[in-house]
Amino acid sequence: MLHFRPVIWERSHQELEVTSGEWLAGQAAPLLKRRKRLERHKALALWRQKRQEGWMPCEPQWQPPQPLQWPHWR
């Protein structure tokens, strides 16, 4: 499982964060294994390679963490 997210998107320089994970039996979401930053052309090359291997796009499998709820002190 791979997730691509832009982290730098300027005219002269673009990078994406690539998150990889692995499905484990009985788990609702894949286990996060690794994150790395790639230049845009390298991220596109990785996606092309995965598509040639039979990978397909899917809905997001990870949900962003919820913000912490701090108690309100009076």
With a CB cutoff of 8 Å and minimum separation 6, the contacts of 21 are 1, 2, 3, 29, 30, 31, 32, 33, 61, 62
Task: Return mean pLDDT, the chain.
Answer: 87
In a 10 Å sphere around its CB, with 0-12 CB exposed, 13-18 middle and 19+ buried, how is residue 6 labelled?
A: exposed
Neighbours of 57 (CB within 10 A): 6
Tokens standing for 51? 């598509």
Is the pLDDT at 12 greater than 70? The verdict is: yes
Percent of the chain with pLDDT over 90: 42
Q: Render pLDDT for 21-54 as a digit per residue (tens, 0 to 9).
A: 888 888 887 888 899 999 999 999 999 999 999 9
Residue boundaries of the structural domains of the chain = 2-52
Is the pLDDT at 73 greater than 70? The verdict is: no
- Give the model's pLDDT for residue 59: 84
